[in-house]
Amino acid sequence: MSLTIINHKNHKIDNDLSLKLENAFNLIRKVENLGDCSVNLKIVDNEEMEDLNKNIEIKMRLQMYFHLQIKIYLRRSQTN
């Protein structure tokens, strides 16, 4: 069992917060009967979170576009 905390741009988190996160991880692991497992937790700042959201939004738009193109293609092929 382990909890690995990764900090963006080397931001330091204090020991109290680190201990609380470890306790929360252990509680969830116990309640969910996860047994021996590992979790990586990355703490990001606003800038990185905004970049992640933009990337996800772009991927979602592309998926919607291609899904629509496939539907159009299938409809056209059924009418021919």
Q: Are residues 17 and 27 in the same domain?
A: yes
Q: Are residues 1 and 27 in the same domain?
A: yes
Q: pLDDT tens track of the chain, all 80 residues?
A: 688 887 767 677 888 998 999 999 999 999 999 888 888 888 888 888 899 899 999 999 999 999 999 988 888 888 76
Return the pLDDT at 11. Answer: 73
Number of structural domains (the chain) is: 2
Q: Are residues 1 and 39 in the same domain?
A: yes
Q: Are residues 9 and 21 in the same domain?
A: yes
Q: Are residues 62 and 28 in the same domain?
A: no
Return the pLDDT at 57. Answer: 93
What domain range is 4 assigned to? 1-43
Residues with Cβ within 8 Å of residue 41, at least 6 apart in sequence: 3, 4, 5, 6, 21, 25
